[in-house]
Amino acid sequence: MMKQNDASFNKELRYAMIRKAAVKVQKAAAQRRQVYKLIKSAERIESQDHKKEISWNDAEAYAIANYSDVYKTTCYEEWN
Q: What is the pLDDT along the chain (80 residues), one digit of tens a residue?
A: 446 666 677 888 999 999 999 999 999 999 999 999 999 988 887 777 665 665 667 777 777 788 878 777 777 766 54
CA gap 26, 6 in Å, rounded: 30
Domain ranges across the chain:
1-47, 53-80
Residue 56 pLDDT: 65
Q: How far is CA 23 from CA 5, 11, 29, 32, 50, in A?
A: 27, 18, 10, 14, 43
CA gap 27, 49 in Å, rounded: 36
Q: Model's pTM, two decimal places? A: 0.45
Q: How far is CA 7 from CA 1, 12, 14, 29, 55, in A?
A: 10, 9, 10, 33, 77
Residue 52 pLDDT: 63
